[in-house]
A = this chain, B = another copy of it.
């Protein structure tokens, strides 16, 4: 059942003809999501410019029982930002709310609208002599509102935290159209329930985040990025401990990569090459930020590697000699997910487990997956310092892609059962969306699910906010 013309007219009147997309060609880009797993339909995409227009949209949606699907940069990996097949859900694009309202270098804060592209905020902060540390593969197109709604993680969580920790306050339009202005700029405020953190990570199911106060940090005075080849995840764990001892809070990244991931990145990504001469089973990227000086960063990273060589933890290593080389080391890591595509189907997992258990987990999960699918190529890489792995599995060479992908749920269950046994999370940073909704119901305690349902019902009685996602 598509939206009836009268309803389309009423929503269109709020944003104006120009910003109410109804032509299928205009709508198409809003329906295609990065993994091509979730198609959907709609006959209307609304592109409001102001919080008041969003308020009017949600008020009308609640009045008429119309489902609203908020969408930022459309980079989400769990299908949280696309409508279902019914055709009667409206996409609400935040992309025109794209102003950086202010940057306050004395308070180290930026007030930004939801549609600001992450890279734009990073750049604006840097121009003001500050760091906005959130950094993701999709930073060129993802938006702050989506980052907040999914509590995005990325490569700098180790030192700076998730998006949740980078946010001081939010402005949210509730499903009823009411506007919650909680754009606080003070760090300490114990005046009642923590509403902000309910909206962060709720994936647009409780309201629409329209603006936020984000924390800025001093720009590091020096960076150091090293790339090391190792024998095993166990050695990587020891290296992590050593790096933490030497660098403390200066350790701003610690990424684990397997040989096969490096091979894929090198084979399928322009400009990526293996910085080490010999192949190694595993690799670690170490990122250091010094608040003191470039020499200090260099000394720290050299001290880590020297001790690691002496302890036999590292087989070979190289330190980036320029900013360009630092970027290329990171590019290798960031290209790894995309580089799986030319290798056929890939079954993904975004899991976290206690850091100290990572070597055991990898051994156990690898054996279990290979038992299930002999020849599967396991590309388990990611934010080891946070206990967060992208435990991705590329199809066996020559296997039928669709037949492999048809086993997605079965493989997920196998891997997630091990994650659950390790008391880990089945969604460390990507969220639930549509992809993991069924599994959330199986994983989360009934008490927690019940509380989530109570919150959802009391915030969104008409059930219009991103239905079919999360809860």
Contact between chains at A190 and B445 (CB < 8 Å): no
Give the CA-CA distance A188 to B245 in the complex, in Å. 22
Q: Would you call A200 an interface residue if the criterion is a C-beta within 8 Å of the partner chain's C-beta atoms?
A: yes
On chain B, the residues within 8 Å of A124 by CB distance are none
Contact between chains at B471 and A190 (CB < 8 Å): no
Q: Would you call A137 an interface residue if the criterion is a C-beta within 8 Å of the partner chain's C-beta atoms?
A: no
Residue of B with least CB distance to A245: B218
A122-171 residues at the B interface, CB under 8 angstroms: 150-151, 153, 157, 162, 164-165
Contact between chains at B190 and A150 (CB < 8 Å): yes
Give the CA-CA distance A291 to B248 in the complex, in Å. 6
Q: Would you call A368 an interface residue if the criterion is a C-beta within 8 Å of the partner chain's C-beta atoms?
A: no
On chain B, the residues within 8 Å of A454 by CB distance are 458-459
Contact between chains at B428 and A180 (CB < 8 Å): no
Contact between chains at B428 and A186 (CB < 8 Å): yes
A251-305 residues at the B interface, CB under 8 angstroms: 291-292
Give the CA-CA distance A241 to B106 in the complex, in Å. 9
A231-251 residues at the B interface, CB under 8 angstroms: 241, 244-245, 248-249
A321 CB to closest chain B CB (Å) equals 25
Contact between chains at B440 and A190 (CB < 8 Å): no
A373-385 Cβ-contact flags toward B at 8 Å (1 or 0):
0000000000100
Q: Would you call A354 an interface residue if the criterion is a C-beta within 8 Å of the partner chain's C-beta atoms?
A: yes
A441-471 residues at the B interface, CB under 8 angstroms: 443-445, 447-452, 454-455, 457-459, 470-471
Q: Would you call A367 an interface residue if the criterion is a C-beta within 8 Å of the partner chain's C-beta atoms?
A: no
Q: How large is the interface on A (under 10, 10 to 19, 20 to 34, 35 or more residues)?
A: 35 or more
A296-350 residues at the B interface, CB under 8 angstroms: none
On chain B, the residues within 8 Å of A291 by CB distance are 248-249
A215 CB to closest chain B CB (Å) equals 12
Contact between chains at B191 and A455 (CB < 8 Å): no
Give the CA-CA distance A471 to B192 in the complex, in Å. 7
Given A184-B423, A186-B423, A445-B181: A440 in contact with B191 (beta carbons within 8 A): yes
Given A106-B356, A201-B193, A445-B181: A188 in contact with B451 (beta carbons within 8 A): no
A103-121 residues at the B interface, CB under 8 angstroms: 104, 106-107
User: Which stretch, A3-11, A82-90, A429-437, touches the partner chain B?
Assistant: A429-437
The 7 closest A-B pairs by CB, nearest first: A248-B291, A189-B425, A188-B428, A197-B197, A106-B356, A454-B458, A186-B352
Partner of A190 from B180, B353, B425 at Cβ < 8 Å? B425
Partner of A355 from B107, B432, B452 at Cβ < 8 Å? B107
On chain B, the residues within 8 Å of A457 by CB distance are 458
Q: Would you call A40 an interface residue if the criterion is a C-beta within 8 Å of the partner chain's C-beta atoms?
A: no
A372 CB to closest chain B CB (Å) equals 24
Contact between chains at A188 and B352 (CB < 8 Å): yes
Q: Would you call A424 an interface residue if the criterion is a C-beta within 8 Å of the partner chain's C-beta atoms?
A: yes
Contact between chains at A194 and B425 (CB < 8 Å): no
Give the CA-CA distance A195 to B354 in the complex, in Å. 21
A54 CB to closest chain B CB (Å) equals 14
Partner of A428 from B189, B192, B386 at Cβ < 8 Å? B189
Q: Would you call A91 an interface residue if the criterion is a C-beta within 8 Å of the partner chain's C-beta atoms?
A: no
Give the CA-CA distance A200 to B150 in the complex, in Å. 21
On chain B, the residues within 8 Å of A185 by CB distance are 354, 423
